[in-house]
A and B are shown apart, each in its own frame.
Chain A
Amino acid sequence: MPIEQNRLENILKEKFPNSKIIIEDLAGDNDHYSVFIESSLFNDLSKIKQHQLVYKSLDGLMDNELHAMQLKTKGTN
């Protein structure tokens, strides 16, 4: 079940304000995305915690509507 890039972008922008967010639709099918987020919210968090924060922000979309997401996260410090 695909999710439109706009919708994904809006959710992430809302949950990660003042952050650098780059989304790429890898296959052009609204179902395989590459997401990069650089945010101060990630500062001093382990990689696992950073990714968990992103998954939580998507609130159950992951693995349901969103099948495949390559995720890269980075703090600002």
Chain B
Amino acid sequence: MELDTNTKDKIEKLIGENEVLLFMKGNPDFPMCGFSSVASTILKKCGVEFGHCNVLDDNDIREGIKAFSDWPTIPQLYVKKEFVGGCDIMKEMAESGELVELLNTRGIKTELS
């Protein structure tokens, strides 16, 4: 999968501007896919402020983020420019408490901490 410079710049700008950013289908209030819904619910439950990028609005990002992260599916979570994982990893990390821990060690406030 090719990633053109334009798209790469766009993605880097997005993850630079949002400490916690979820690439998802739809938005947190109206997720357009079950996996994206689970992912945004997890973040809401952590009580963390997060930005989102609806990949359905931008096909370059929808395809580009897969190459960028070397990850074939959406949703994808970035924290402080670092790729954390997709829905399954987020679920496991939320259950074990690792997700809140990761957010807190990165200096991000959560209601659960």
Interface residue ranges, A against B (CB under 8 Å): 47-48, 51-52, 55, 62-63, 68, 70-72
Contact = CB atoms under 8 A, between A and B. Distances in A.
Contacts of A55: 71-73
Contacts, number: 30
Given A47-B85, A68-B35, A52 B92 contact: no
Interface residues of B, number: 15
Interface string B69-106: 01111000000000111101100110000000000000
B66 interface: yes
Contact of A62 (B72, B84, B85, B89): B72
Interface in B18-53: 34-35
